[in-house]
Copies of this chain bind each other. A is one copy, B any other.
Amino acid sequence: MASRRDSRPDSPAAAPDLGADMMRLAAELFPICRSITGDGLRQSLRILGRHIKLDLTEVPSGTAVFDWTVPREWSIRGAYVERLDGTRVIDFSANNLHIVQYSKSIDAVLPVEELRRHLHSLPERPDWIPYRTSYYNETWGFCLTHRQLETITDDRYRVVIDSSLAAGSLTYGECLIPGESNDEVLLSCHVCHPSLANDNLSGMVVATMLARHLQQTRRRFTYRFLFIPGTIGSITWLARNEARVGQIRHGLVLSCLGDSGGMTYKQSRQSDAAIDRIVAHVMRHEPGQHRVVPFVPYGYDERQYCSPGFDLPVGCLMRTPNGEYAEYHSSADNLSLLRPKSLAHSLGVLQRIVDVIEGEATYRSLNPKGEPQLGRRGLYATMGGQSSAGAGQMALLWVMNLADGRHSLLDVAERAGLPFAAIRTAADALAGAGLLDPAS
């Protein structure tokens, strides 16, 4: 229980350190220009690999993965727009977001009207640079602040993009932590965004810290962490691991876990999978606000895990969801948006989710007729007549009352309105007193 306390945002003890560790890792990753393929992605995975045992897989360009094809590898060396007098008005070296991802090479002097068709800004957020991609439609473009756009008034500009699209490979990282059982828990985050902090350096660092934590002890379940480029990465992994998918008992996509908002859980497509109940239960017992929202086929890689041919029990854990915070997919989603306490709390919530996954079990009472005499086993108040029983006492009574082989401990916790940890503790005490047997 101590470790649980420590990871809460309102805890003054360990959380700040853990939060600071995660901030440092995010800061190290932030400047790298990641995309769905390429060296920035590989470099980022190697940094994560210093904290956890991470296996990298390279899938060659052109590989067919279900309805898709692994794309060519994109490399970007430099890009700028300059006045004919050589003054640069947009320069990729200033911000990774200035270039539309997968822009093709160009070196040309263009009339301003033609240039403008390739420029993207946010008129309502004139100081922010948007993030834009064109992975599957060959074009080029620059993103810039609206204030910059307003200065582009010359007749002609020189446009230079020094990039290449060439056969290579798609890279993803995998961290497998074996447990007593082959049943798997899947944790997946996307790693393809350049210089965007909450979406999704936050997911990457929280996933890394959770994996590091799980590596330290033997668990019942096998845990599989995927660090993959969005959409094409999960489709590629699914295509290459179709036979393994049946082992997945629970799963979560992790994203947007560092902002100051409350937790949001997006349910799996099934909506009543065990993971849906588990996360809702854990969040209900957290301090502060939280939301459970239904599955929609838009968002992150849950779109692929929850496609009808797989329909996996995979939800998505976030704080403020994609598209619901102003800074989303812009240069304002930078390190200043991350809160150490939020990162630490997100990690704590995930640890408590894992505690339920690991501790969930169903028991049968060995004394089902009437209550057992808990008092002579030291499990009941000796002085009778008080107005009510404490939570510990109630947890013991609830576990005994519902130990009928049909109610799991999570069922008990939900019906009792008590946190799973209290019910798990009571079940341990009762099993220790010889009053419970695991249900076959």
Contacts and interface: CB of A to CB of B under 8 A. Distances in A.
Interface of A: 65-68, 100-101, 120, 130-137, 139, 141, 231, 234-235, 238-239, 242, 269, 294, 296-298, 303-304, 306-311, 322-323, 328-329, 365, 367-373, 375-376, 382-389, 394, 397-398, 400-404, 415-416
Contacts of A365: 308-309
A135 to B, nearest CB: 7
Contact of A370 (B139, B239, B394): B239
A296 B403 CA distance: 14
Nearest to A269: B401
A71 to B, nearest CB: 11
A295 to B, nearest CB: 8
23 contacts: A66-B369, A66-B370, A67-B367, A67-B371, A67-B372, A68-B370, A100-B383, A101-B384, A133-B384, A134-B383, A137-B382, A238-B370, A296-B394, A297-B400, A298-B394, A307-B368, A307-B400, A308-B402, A309-B365, A309-B369, A323-B388, A329-B385, A329-B387
B137 A307 contact: no
Contact of A371 (B137, B239, B307): B307
A365 to B, nearest CB: 6
Contacts of A304: 370-371
Contacts of A404: 308, 311
A75 to B, nearest CB: 19
B307 A68 contact: no
Q: For A297, A306, A365, which residue has the most chain B Cβ atoms within 10 angstroms? A: A297
A307 B369 CA distance: 6
Contact of A387 (B297, B309, B328): B328
A133 B101 CA distance: 76
B375 A137 contact: yes
Given A307-B370, A307-B401, A309-B367, 7 more contacts: A133-B384, A136-B376, A139-B382, A238-B369, A239-B369, A298-B389, A309-B365
Chain A, interface SS category: loop
A239 B373 CA distance: 14
Please give me the 5 A-B residue pairs with the lowest Cβ-Cβ distance, nearest first: A309-B368, A309-B369, A297-B401, A133-B384, A308-B404
Contacts of A136: 373, 375-376, 382
Nearest to A307: B370
B385 A133 contact: yes
A318 to B, nearest CB: 15
Nearest to A131: B385
A401 B306 contact: yes
Contacts of A322: 387
A370 B309 contact: yes
